[in-house]
Every structure is written in C-alpha cells, then in structure tokens.
Amino acid sequence: MRLRSISILLILLLSSCSLPDAGSTPAPPDRKPAAVAAIPDKCRGDGAVQTWQLLPVQPATSELMAAYDDREVVEFSGAVFGSDDDPSRQPHRRYLISEAAEGITVTLDYQGDPPPLAVGPRYRFVAWADFVPPPATPLTATVTPTPPNQLPDAAGYELQVHDSIGLLFLGLTDTDLADDPLGIEVSNAEGDCPTVVITNNPCVESRQVQPLRIRWDNNEITLYPGEDGQLQHQGMIYEVSVFRNRQVTYAEPACAGYSEHARSLRVDRIDPPPVVPAPPTPVTPTLPLTGTEPLSGAVPIPLPPPPALP
C-alpha cells in the first residue's frame, strides 16, 4: 500500500511539470518583453513592407532583364495591358507590361497597394532590386526545384513610374537615395519610441520604431510608420506613406542568412491626378438628304402671279 501511494505521488508530481517544446528555441533568460501598455500608439504602426519586382513572363534572354537580374538600375518604356490576381500568389499581385524597345512582355510583381497604373497609357519605368544570391550548395547535394510562385530574395527595391506630366509613383524599400536624381532625402528623425525586446525570434534581440524625415526641395515632413503626409514638388502635390521604419538589433551569434527589411515607403502624386486616356468620342452617322426634305434655313422665293386670261 505504501509503494502504491509513493507511485501515485510521483505520477502527480511529473504531471504537474511542463516539458519544453523540442521544436522551439528558448529565449535567453535576460530578455524581458516590454509591457504593451507602455508602448505609445504612434509607435505601433510598424507593419508589412511593400515590394516591387520585375519578372519575365517566360524565362528568356533580354538585355533589360539581364541587367535587372545583375542588380543594375534599368529604365524602359512600356504600357500595361492586363493584370494577374492569381489567389495562389497572395499577397502578391501582378501587372502585365508590354516593353517597347525589345518588344518583350514583363510582369511587375507587387506586394501591398497597387501602383496607380491604367491600361493603355505608356509609362516610363525606372526599377532596381538588390537581389540576394542563393547560398552555395555542394555539388553532391540534391537540387530542389524552385516553386513557380516563389520570388527571388532581395534586400531592397525601388520603382519609379513617370507619365506624360512627370513623376507619378515612387516606391522605396531599403534603398539608399544618396545619388538619386529625384532629389528626395530620407533619414531617421529623433523619436521617443521604446526599444522592444523580442522573445519569439531567436535571431533578433530587439527592435525600435523610428520616425522618418522626408525632405524634397525646401519641403519637409516627419512621419511615424503607419502615417501619411503631403509634400509639394515642382507645383505638384504628393502623398507620402510610411509602412516601416525600424532599427533592428540582431542576436549574437548571428543567424546565418537572416535579415529583416528596416524601411519601406511610397510616394503617390495626387494633384494633378494620373493621366488616363479619354474614351473615344462616339461618331454620329450622317443621314443622306432626300429630295422631299427642305434644307435647313432655306427661305421660300415668291413666284410672280400667273398672267391674266383674255
């Protein structure tokens, strides 16, 4: 009876202990998450980034795509002739663009709000992506084919769209604008957001949301992630939207190949609005004149009286 009581006591003690999950990485003991209530509302808008990437419709050789894949800034003229909203690619969607110089078709893959493009007009595109080379694998390793909907990794993106008026759209994610001819200056501003210790990601020690200062000509605004503001440039009005601006402190030792996008924003021209071609004017068919229908505006000519009969 005593042995049975001891066995029951051991079972109860063991059942009250929770075993660590073998598949999760425990956080270092000195990481203490910040209280959610202590984070101001303006510091909680840091969200998902927006991306813009050119892809060929079919794997084919072209000077444009070869330069783009080689991380060069490319410029081309093209017209949108369709879109691809395949649900299997969400949150990514695509525009189909007919490029003018080489006569090729490229897709503009984007994540987030669509650029303000319309079917028909010809635009001037300036695009760049800082593609991350895939990790080297031994020759003896088994090569796994890339899934059709998987995009190449990139550390940064930039897309400019110009219409007949001027700059229509600018998208920037982790892009250095030091030598950009547009003249926009982007830099971190002084803020008071607390440093948040990260306990659910073994590769990140902490993150801190920062306000972003955007200067264009003599106009300047400062925005926190999640905020919008307006700037004037060359007599036009643009809306600036900031999606992410953070400082990341990575854990030591660093996780191989791990990084996060730190900054993402877009600039949309709102006045004047995008140039959209007017619909064709309907043609009114011309009706043939008939001999029994009087001409418009004709004045009847009086005839002389008939001669008197003798």
Q: How far is CA 67 from CA 57, 133, 260, in A?
A: 16, 15, 25
Q: Residue 133 has what pLDDT?
A: 77
Q: Which has more pLDDT, 5 or 210?
A: 210
26 located within any domain? no
Of the candidates 236, 232, 242, the residue with the CA atom closest to the CA atom of residue 275? 236
155, part of any domain = yes
Query: Residues 51, 110: contact at Cβ < 8 Å?
Result: yes
Q: How far is the C-alpha of 154 from the C-alpha of 160, rounded, in Å?
A: 17
CA 211 to chain centre: 20
- CA neighbor of 242 nearest in space, from 257, 259, 224: 224
Does residue 20 lie in a domain region? no
For residue 272, pLDDT over 90 is answered with yes
Task: Identify the bridge partners of residue 240 per DSSP, sorted by sequence position.
Answer: 229, 267
Task: Write out the two tokens for 169.
Answer: 């759209």
Residue 142 has pLDDT above 60, yes or no: no
Average pLDDT over residues 61-68: 91
At residue 292, the pLDDT reads 46
Over 70: is that where the pLDDT of 308 sits?
A: no
Q: Give the pLDDT confidence of 174-211 residue by residue, as tens digits.
A: 997 766 789 999 999 999 999 999 999 999 999 999 99
Whether residue 293 is contained in a domain is answered as: no
Residue 266 inside a domain? The answer is yes
85 or 30, greater pLDDT: 85
Q: Rounded distance, CA 177 to CA 57, Å?
A: 30
Listed in order, strand segments (DSSP E) in the chain are: 51-56, 74-84, 92-99, 105-111, 122-131, 154-162, 167-173, 184-188, 196-197, 204-209, 212-216, 219-223, 228-233, 236-250, 263-271
Please, what is the average pLDDT of the chain? 80
Q: Domain count of the chain? A: 1
Q: How far does Cα 198 stand from its chain's mean position?
A: 26
pLDDT digits (tens, 9 = 90+) for 234-268: 999 999 999 999 999 999 999 998 999 999 999 99
Q: Are 183 and 11 in contact (CB under 8 A)?
A: no
Residue 46 in this model has a pLDDT that exceeds 80: yes
pTM of the model: 0.75
Residue 304 lies in a domain: no
Whole-Å CA distances, 112 to 90, 96, 107, 198, 215? 10, 17, 16, 25, 24
Domain extent at residue 167: 45-133+150-271
The confidence score (pLDDT) of residue 112 equals 93
Greater model confidence, 231 or 299? 231
Q: Which amino acid is at 16?
A: S
Residue 269, classified by CB atoms within 10 Å of its CB into exposed (0-12), middle (13-18) or buried (19+), is buried
The region that residue 71 occupies, defined by phi over 0 for left and psi between -120 and 50 for alpha, beta otherwise, is left
pLDDT band with cut points at 50, 70 and 90 for residue 37: low
Best CA proximity match to 256, nearest among 121, 161, 163, 136: 136
What's the rounded mean pLDDT across residues 99-103? 91
Phi, then psi, of 107 in degrees rounded to 5: -110, 140
Nearest to 206 by CA among 255, 251, 243: 251
299 domain-assigned: no
Residue 34 has pLDDT above 50, yes or no: yes
- What strands lie across the sheet with 184-188, from one edge to the other? 184-188, 212-216, 219-223
User: Locate tokens 């002739």: which residue?
Assistant: 81
Q: What is the pLDDT of residue 181?
A: 84
* Of residues 20 and 86, more confidently modeled: 86
CA distances from 142 to 136, 139, 149, 257 (A): 12, 8, 21, 20
pLDDT band, residue 284 (cuts 50/70/90): low
What's the pLDDT score for residue 179?
Answer: 61
Q: What is the CB neighbour count within 10 angstroms for residue 300?
A: 6
In a domain, 296, yes or no: no
Q: How is residue 113 written in tokens?
A: 């709000």
| pLDDT value, residue 23 | 40
Share of the chain above pLDDT 90, in %: 60
